[in-house]
Amino acid sequence: MEIKDFLKRKSEWVKGEGPRSDIVMSTRIRIARNVNGHPFYNWADKTKRKEVFEKMMAAMKGAVTFKDAQLIKMKDTTPIERTFLVERHLISNEHTHDVDSKGLVIANEETLSIMLNEEDHLRLQVIKSGFNLMEAWKIIDEIDTNLGTHLPYAYSSKFGYLTACPTNTGTGLRSSVMLHMPALELTNQMERVYEAISKLGLTIRGFYGEGSEASGNFFQISNQVSLGHSEMDILDNFGRVVDKIIEREKDTRDYLMENKKREVTDNIFRSFGTLKSARIITSSETIRLLSAVRLGVDLGLIKEVTVTALNEILLLMQPGHLQVLNNEGLGQSERDIRRADMIRDKLV
């Protein structure tokens, strides 16, 4: 299977299904693990990195869980293909650099992905559409247990699972959700949300996670600390906080429709019209307009397009996807033209 074949299927988060999918685009559970007896990736020389990489690849091939998985060696991918994988939330930006002895495992229609030799030897990730914390946890817990029978994990009876970053030590678990919160942004409440959740051990990032800025009113919220907390403690606390944020966004949407319906509706339909008619459009403008149209769909104001279709545009409009989709390297100006063409094809 080639990278371009990914275009034939939808990423899990694109589906627009699951609980509270009007506000929660996706739920992600990630687990960090390291192989016992091997130095952390950033402390290892090339020989040690290759050694643990080959050991992990052999374990993947031998585990029943990964029988039908796709195993990719990052050194066999092009820079554009790596960008494509970042855009699909399958790898981090860090995983696109120094690609020797790095890999990616993908299974279950992109629900499961594992980075090999990122900051930790193994970064297991499960993504589910909508607000699906416990379902995602059940899947990743089973996979983690199965994989642990093939690879000895670095573990301390005092500290728990050992990881390259101390904040991950313990369970090695990070839970996160991708939220669409246009109402809180429109009413200038996001600063208060930032302050409130930081006091609760959570953090807010942008669409691409760590190191990215928020755009299009899409925010990724995740827990910061793993050490000293059980998996259930982390998930319960995280779930309660996200529930409150979801309700705040919902209530604010209701407020806007009661008090500023004309202004909100005007912005929604102007945005929809621009997307359907533009001949040149940047990625930043696209994501801003898509946010407004998505709100219109969620509020029942726009009925001729689905959230799934908007999510697909959000995915395909990105630079790496446009270039893989067109099977060629494109300059920024050409991408802006092809992006507008693609959007019109999807909406008109």
How confident is the model over 168-185, as pLDDT tens digits? 889 999 999 999 999 999
Confidence of residue 135 (pLDDT cuts 50, 70, 90): very high
For residue 8, what pLDDT is reported? 82
Q: What percent of the chain has pLDDT over 70?
A: 97
State mean pLDDT over 316-343. 92
Beta bridge mates, 35:
153
Q: How many alpha carbons fall within 13 Å on the CB side of residue 278?
A: 22
Q: How many alpha carbons fall within 13 Å on the CB side of residue 207?
A: 20
Per-residue tokens: 166: 């101390």
Whole-prediction pTM: 0.91
Q: How far is CA 52 from CA 48, 101, 121, 149, 150, in A?
A: 6, 9, 8, 16, 13
CA distance linking residue 192 with residue 213, whole number of Å: 17
pLDDT in tens, 50-65: 999 999 999 988 777 7
Confidence of residue 205 (pLDDT cuts 50, 70, 90): confident
Q: How far is CA 111 from CA 62, 89, 124, 324, in A?
A: 20, 11, 11, 21
Task: Please state, rounded to an integer, the average pLDDT across all residues of the chain.
Answer: 92
CA distance linking residue 122 with residue 9, whole number of Å: 25
Instruction: Count the helix, strand and coil residues of the chain and give each as a percent rounded to the nearest 5.
Output: 50, 15, 30
Choose among 238, 135, 250: nearest CA to 182.
250
Residue where the block lists tokens 């208060």: 192
Lowest mean pLDDT among 95-104, 202-211, 331-340: 202-211
Angle between helix 283-298 and helix 307-316 axes, rounded to 10 deg: 170
Domain residues of the chain, as ranges?
Answer: 3-254, 260-347
Range among 108-112, 203-207, 212-216 rated most confident: 108-112
Virtual CA dihedral for 290, 292, 297, 298, nearest 10 degrees? 120
For residue 213, what pLDDT is reported? 56
State mean pLDDT over 202-225. 76
The class of domain 3-254 in CATH terms is alpha beta
Confidence of residue 214 (pLDDT cuts 50, 70, 90): low
Q: Are 185 and 217 in contact (CB under 8 A)?
A: yes
Q: How far is CA 143 from CA 31, 117, 138, in A?
A: 10, 18, 9
Q: Are 152 and 61 in contact (CB under 8 A)?
A: no
For residue 109, what pLDDT is reported? 83
pLDDT at 208 over 80: no
State mean pLDDT over 62-81. 88
Burial 185-195 (b: 16+ CB within 10 A, else e): bbeeebeebee
* Residue 32, H or E segment: strand 24-33
State mean pLDDT over 32-38. 97
CA distance linking residue 6 with residue 312, whole number of Å: 13
Q: Are 142 and 126 in contact (CB under 8 A)?
A: no
For residue 210, what pLDDT is reported? 54
pLDDT at 126 over 60: yes
Enter the DSSP assignment of 27.
E
Overall residue count recorded for the chain in this entry: 348
